[in-house]
């Protein structure tokens, strides 16, 4: 059955829709507001509706699926090669529709509300942790400006701060003392918010069946289990544990030119390059440390690039990933995240039969 492909460029108030027929020819362009978009697709014959993964795409996709449309979500980097001419909303929508019609394109599933809520808790918690780190570093800097050095670690600072403020009356001005006390009060407020979100994650981990199964894996707690479920879901989009490990990362960017293979910045597919992960820092260059040509085109001079990124050539099995553990351990978590664990079991049986 030949179906039309509708590309939607999602905006805050306006939505730009481009329709492609079965032959790939553009037949219609529409600009709709938020009140018109659902009513517009309710009148159409069921077709393929494509959108980029962005805030609001999952919400709109759930509504359009009720009308029988096949909703497909694409990563932004897969759409850019299909954009023609200048970048504007209609060209973006047409590029989305054309990319969605490719037979080898990879799509993302529409996430349920529960999974998005769990992901939101993790993002707010991570932002609060970063804010707490900034407050602690600012307190340390103010004390150091007055000649007071504190041992490394937030626990050391929390224990020594009352004594430091009591003994530093002669060298710390009253205005600075009041400012430090305000920062300490903000620190305590952030700690309380983080503890509350951590309790919410622990309660959610006990109530979700998939998270319960992940908790049975050694080395996985409520935070990692809920983060894996919120990010990956049931892992049905991945062909195997290797694909999941490569997507979670971190992994070096590969750039091949003729016979030379170079590894650039550490990154997570679909996300900007990162130089650290939640379980500790990874020795890797960030995007800003690369030359301008390397950041824009993925290229750098051969000798400097080989020297700069030689430490990235490590064993795959021992490289830690952003959700904790190593690439090898993600194979176990992949099997637990899939609804069909039989595929993993049959693969193991084939390996055992091959040894015999």
One domain for residues 120 and 192: yes
Q: What's the burial of 25, exposed, middle or buried (CB within 10 Å: 0-12/13-18/19+)?
A: exposed
One domain for residues 54 and 126: no
One domain for residues 252 and 331: yes
Residue 249: inside a domain = yes
Average pLDDT over the chain, rounded to whole? 76
One domain for residues 139 and 76: no
45-49, 158-162, 285-289: segment of lowest average pLDDT: 285-289
pLDDT digits (tens, 9 = 90+) for 152-171: 888 888 888 888 888 766 67
Residue 106: inside a domain = no
Give dist(CA 353, CA 197) in Å, integer.
47
pLDDT digits (tens, 9 = 90+) for 57-94: 999 999 999 999 999 999 888 999 999 888 999 999 99
What's the rounded mean pLDDT across residues 307-335?
Answer: 49
One domain for residues 59 and 136: no
Q: Are 93 and 9 in contact (CB under 8 A)?
A: yes
One domain for residues 169 and 200: yes
CB count within 10 Å of CB 333 equals 27
Pairwise pLDDT comparison (344 vs 8), residue with the higher score = 8
25 has a pLDDT exceeding 70: yes
One domain for residues 245 and 332: yes
Cα 205 to chain centroid, rounded: 20
Q: Per-residue confidence at 340, pLDDT binned at 50, 70, 90? A: very low
One domain for residues 266 and 346: yes
Q: What is the pLDDT of residue 338?
A: 60
pLDDT digits (tens, 9 = 90+) for 238-285: 777 777 777 776 667 777 666 677 766 666 554 444 333 333 333 333
Number of domains in the chain: 3
Q: Which of 223, 241, 273 is the last residue of a domain?
A: 223
Residue 105: inside a domain = no
Q: What is the pLDDT of residue 170?
A: 64
One domain for residues 85 and 160: no
Q: What is the pLDDT of residue 272?
A: 40
Residue 107: inside a domain = no
What's the rounded mean pLDDT across residues 141-158?
Answer: 87
Residue 13: inside a domain = yes
Please give the order of strands across the beta sheet that includes 5-9: 26-33, 14-20, 5-9, 48-52, 70-74
What totals of helices (H) and strands (E) does the chain contain, helices first?
Answer: 14, 9
Residue 54: inside a domain = yes
Residues of the domain holding 122: 113-223
Q: What is the pLDDT of residue 124?
A: 94
Residue 96 sits in a domain whose CATH number is 3.30.420.40
Q: Which of 47, 77, 100 is the last residue of a domain?
A: 100
What's the rounded mean pLDDT across residues 229-236?
Answer: 79
One domain for residues 62 and 170: no
* Residue 79: closest CA among 89, 65, 68: 89
One domain for residues 187 and 293: no
One domain for residues 78 and 149: no
Q: Per-residue confidence at 353, pLDDT binned at 50, 70, 90? A: low
Q: Which of 44, 78, 100 is the last residue of a domain?
A: 100
Residue 263: inside a domain = yes
What's the rounded mean pLDDT across residues 113-130?
Answer: 92
Q: Per-residue confidence at 328, pLDDT binned at 50, 70, 90? A: low
Residue 108: inside a domain = no
289 has a pLDDT exceeding 90: no
280 φψ region: left (φ > 0), alpha (ψ -120 to 50), beta (else) = left
Note the pTM of the prediction, 2 decimals: 0.70
Pairwise pLDDT comparison (247 vs 195), residue with the higher score = 195
Residues paired with residue 252 on neighbouring β-strands, in sequence order: 266
């Amino acid at each position: 059955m030949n179906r039309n492909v509708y590309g939607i460029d999602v905006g805050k108030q306006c939505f730009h829709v481009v329709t492609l027929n079965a032959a790939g020819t553009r037949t219609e362009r529409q600009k709709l507001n938020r009140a018109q978009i659902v009513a517009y697709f309710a009148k159409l014959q069921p077709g393929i509706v494509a959108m980029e993964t962005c805030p609001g795409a999952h919400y709109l996709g759930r509504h359009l699926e009720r009308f029988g449309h096949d909703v497909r979500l694409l990563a932004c980097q897969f759409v850019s090669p299909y954009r023609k001419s200048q970048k504007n909303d209609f060209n973006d929508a047409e590029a989305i529709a054309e990319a969605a019609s490719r037979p080898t394109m990879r799509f993302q599933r529409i996430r349920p509300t529960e999974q998005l809520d769990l992901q939101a808790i993790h993002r707010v918690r991570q932002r609060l942790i970063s804010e707490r780190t900034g407050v602690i570093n600012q307190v340390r800097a103010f004390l150091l400006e007055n000649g007071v050095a504190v041992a490394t670690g937030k626990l050391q600072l929390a224990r020594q701060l009352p004594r430091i403020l009591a003994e530093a009356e002669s060298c710390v001005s009253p205005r600075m003392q009041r400012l430090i006390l305000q920062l300490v009060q903000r620190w305590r407020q952030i700690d309380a918010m983080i503890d509350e979100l951590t309790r919410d994650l622990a309660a959610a981990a006990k109530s979700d069946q998939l998270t319960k199964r992940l908790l049975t894996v050694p080395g996985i707690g409520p935070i990692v289990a809920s983060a894996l479920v919120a990010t990956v879901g049931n892992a049905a989009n991945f062909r195997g544990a290797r694909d999941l490990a490569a997507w979670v990362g971190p992994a070096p960017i590969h750039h091949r030119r003729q016979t030379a293979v170079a590894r650039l910045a550490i990154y997570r597919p679909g996300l900007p390059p990162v130089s650290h992960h939640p379980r500790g820092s990874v020795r890797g260059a960030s995007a800003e440390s690369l030359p301008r040509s390397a950041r824009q085109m993925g290229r750098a001079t051969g000798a400097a690039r080989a020297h700069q990124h030689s430490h990235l050539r490590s064993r795959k099995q021992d490289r830690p990933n952003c959700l904790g553990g190593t690439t090898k351990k993600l194979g176990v978590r992949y099997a637990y995240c899939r609804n069909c664990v039989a595929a993993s079991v049959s693969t193991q049986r084939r390996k055992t039969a091959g040894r015999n």
